[in-house]
Amino acid sequence: MGMRQRRGFSLIELLVVIFILGVGLASISALFVSGIVSSRKAQRISTANNMARQQMERLRSGGFSACVADDWAFPSARGYTVVTSNPDGTGQVTFQVPQLPSGVGTVDIAYYDSGVGIYPNLKDITITIDWAGGTPMEGTIVLRNFLANHP
């Protein structure tokens, strides 16, 4: 009796190949999902950063005396809510960031406190933007700047 010629693959061989392909495709799909999440998070960080910079430039362009936490500088008709407004112009203002899911911005205006004393000619401006979107997509950025009164 002679040897038989084999013309195909056995069931075991096919199952092994299918398993290996399945593992490979699952790994590649996980990379795609990770790439999409990273891209969306980067887009949200960029949007938040641009919004914070716009708010900072708006305050800086008004100058030292116009940088106050009140209804004149932050009108409610433009979407601002004055949370605290002190007689010296310091305080906190919030605003919505509709480009981000549950996006909220906060502007804090205070005089610079060095720990030794407060400088009345130097304002400390902090802009914070928070957004939601689940653990991998939520985030916060903080932009801080000083505005000096040049006599």
Structure confidence at residue 7 as a pLDDT band (50, 70, 90): confident
End-to-end CA distance of the chain: 110
Q: Give the percent of the chain with pLDDT over 70.
A: 95
DSSP state of 29: H
Other Cβ atoms closer than 10 A to 99? 13
Per-residue pLDDT of 47-64, as tens digits, reads 999 999 999 999 999 999
- Rounded Cα–Cα distance for residues 124 and 54 (Å): 17
Structure confidence at residue 9 as a pLDDT band (50, 70, 90): confident
Residue 139 in contact with residue 44, Cβ under 8 Å?
A: yes
pLDDT at 4: 66
